[in-house]
C-alpha cells in the first residue's frame, strides 16, 4: 500500500530512521549508524552498522542492514538524518529507493547552507562525484517545520507522513530515537538535543 493510501485510510505507517552516532574525526576512521524501526511513533526494533568517514559505502551499508532481513517487508518508508553519514559519505538517494523498493527521504533540521557544503566537499577526494550524488537526490522541499529531499513519493504526501511520524518537536520519532540511541551507545548517555 502506498503512502497516500496509508494516510487516507489512517493506517499505521512503519518507518526506519537512520542517523550516525557521534564519531572522532580521523582519516580512514568509521562512524556507527543506528536504524530505528517505528510503527507510527512507537519503537519496534533497531539495526546497527558502520560507514567509513567521508567514504563511499553509506548507500550499500543501509541496503545491507535491510535487504533480506526481517524488517524490510514491514516498512513503508526510509528516513535519513541528512543526505550523508560519517561526514560526507553521501547517500545515493535514487539508488537507495530503487534497491529497497521504498520511498526514501533525507530529512534536514534546517535549510542547508549549500555554499558551505560545496566548500567543505572540495577539501575531500573526488569532490565532483560527491556533488553529483547531492544533485541526484533532487531539490530540497520546504514544508515547515520540515526540510527534505525525497525519492519515490510526492513532496506533499511526504510532508503529511513526516507530520504523522512526529510526536513532539520537528523531527520524526524514528530519527529522534536514532540520534539519542546512537549518542548513548557511543558516549554512554544520550545528548540534550535530538
Ordered by where they begin, the domains of the chain are 3-186 (3.30.2170.10)
Residue 27 pLDDT greater than 90, yes or no = no
State whether the Cα torsion 69-16-178-141 is positive or negative. positive
pLDDT in tens, 119-137: 999 999 999 999 999 999 9
Q: What is the mean pLDDT of residues 20-43?
A: 94
DSSP 8-state assignment for residue 142: E
Which residues have CB under 8 Å from 65's CB, separation 6+?
35, 47, 48, 49
Burial class (CB in 10 A: 0-12, 13-18, 19+), 73: exposed
Whole-prediction pTM: 0.96
**How large a percentage of the chain has pLDDT more than 90?**
88
Amino acid at each position: 500500500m502506498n503512502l497516500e493510501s496509508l494516510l487516507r485510510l489512517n493506517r499505521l505507517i512503519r518507518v526506519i530512521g537512520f542517523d550516525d552516532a557521534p564519531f572522532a574525526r580521523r582519516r580512514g576512521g568509521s562512524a556507527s549508524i543506528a536504524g530505528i524501526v517505528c510503527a507510527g511513533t512507537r519503537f519496534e526494533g533497531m539495526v546497527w552498522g558502520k560507514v567509513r568517514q567521508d567514504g563511499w559505502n553509506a548507500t550499500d551499508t543501509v541496503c545491507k542492514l535491510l535487504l533480506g532481513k526481517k524488517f524490510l517487508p514491514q516498512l513503508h518508508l526510509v528516513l535519513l538524518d541528512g543526505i550523508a553519514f560519517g561526514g560526507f559519505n553521501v547517500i545515493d538517494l535514487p539508488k537507495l529507493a530503487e534497491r529497497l523498493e521504498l520511498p526514501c527521504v533525507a530529512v534536514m533540521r534546517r535549510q542547508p547552507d549549500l555554499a558551505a557544503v560545496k566548500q567543505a566537499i572540495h577539501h575531500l577526494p573526488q569532490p565532483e562525484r560527491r556533488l553529483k550524488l547531492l544533485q541526484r537526490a533532487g531539490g530540497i522541499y520546504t514544508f515547515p517545520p520540515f526540510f527534505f529531499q525525497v525519492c519515490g513519493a510526492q513532496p506533499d504526501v511526504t510532508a503529511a507522513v513526516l507530520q504523522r511520524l512526529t510526536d513532539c518537536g520537528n523531527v520524526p520519532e524514528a530519527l529522534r530515537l536514532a540520534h539519542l540511541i546512537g549518542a548513548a551507545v557511543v558516549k554512554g548517555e544520550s545528548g540534550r538535543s535530538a
